[in-house]
Amino acid sequence: MLKKEIIYRNPLINLGYADEDILPHGGFGAVLAHAGLGKTALLVQMALNTMMREQSVLHVSLHEAVSKVDVWYHELFHNIAGKHNASDIQEYWDKIQPYRFIMTFRVEGFSVPKLEERLTDLMQQNIFKPHIVIIDGLKFDESGRGLLVNLKELAKKYSMSMWFTVHTHRHEPPKENGLPLSFLHVADLFDVLVQLAAKGEEVYIKALKGQAATAKQDSLLLDPATMLIKA
């Protein structure tokens, strides 16, 4: 059975985090990067790890259609499992797909009450209860602190953890802690912060917050061909 053959640990585990969940219940994590470096790809890999551990992922996209998000999952899953037989890959995908639910909002239509309403509809009907939530496309320089405080309360209420993509601007130099000025007003709400940064043709993944002192590596590399973490 393919499940026994694929050992796919959380791609951030080598940066020194204690377990594959990375975040506690009610915890916040974020991937910060300029456009096009792989923020969504990295979070989809973490989502796939969660699905393979038979825990549920709610992927909330504020800028892509369900079909586009689904393509990310299919492509990255096939890159992970690519050396195996196609029929086995499809069988395993069919088994883990129920652990993922994709939800889309228009950016201007997104709010915590709307998210909670749709979330409780799913849970009350026994359709889906997420272990982690990914929110992809939130504009941190426009949304303000109040929205994130309310999202944190929601995460604690339903014992979930939340991951976010954070778009950073090339014209905005980082502060001493590596964080952009536009993010500093909410940085204290986050348990884990990870940065993607390009150097030449390489994309490096570095922990900015939450990394254990016992970390085996200071950084990881993202393979531009497969968008997977290089071993």
Please state the domain count of the chain: 1
> What pLDDT score does 142 carry?
66
In-domain check, residue 227: no
Range of the domain at 151: 2-222
From first to last of the 231 residues of the chain, give the pLDDT tens digit.
455 545 556 667 777 666 677 888 999 999 999 888 899 999 999 899 899 889 999 999 998 999 999 999 999 998 888 777 778 888 889 999 999 999 999 877 899 999 999 999 999 999 999 999 999 999 887 667 899 999 999 999 999 999 999 988 876 776 767 788 888 889 999 999 999 988 888 899 888 888 776 677 778 888 888 888 875
Which residue, chain included where needed, has tokens 């800028």?
A: 63
Residues forming beta bridges with residue 135, ordered by sequence position: 60, 164
Retrieve residue 123's tokens.
């849970």
Is residue 231, in this structure, part of any structural domain at all? no
Please check whether residue 159 lies inside any domain of the structure: yes
In a domain, 228, yes or no: no
pLDDT at 1: 47
Residue 230 lies in a domain: no
For residue 213, count CB atoms less than 10 angstroms from its CB and return exposed for 0-12, middle for 13-18, buried for 19 or more: exposed
With respect to residue 29, please indicate whether it lies within any of the assigned structural domains. yes
Residue 128 has a pLDDT of 95
- Domain-located, residue 136: yes
The answer to whether residue 33 sits within a structural domain is: yes
Q: What are φ and ψ of residue 223, in 5° steps?
A: -75, 115
CATH assignment at residue 188? 3.40.50.300
pLDDT reported for residue 133: 98
- Contact 12/5 with Cβ under 8 angstroms? no
pTM attached to this predicted model: 0.91
Helices 39-52 and 66-81, interaxial angle, to 10°?
70
Q: What is the pLDDT of residue 140?
A: 81
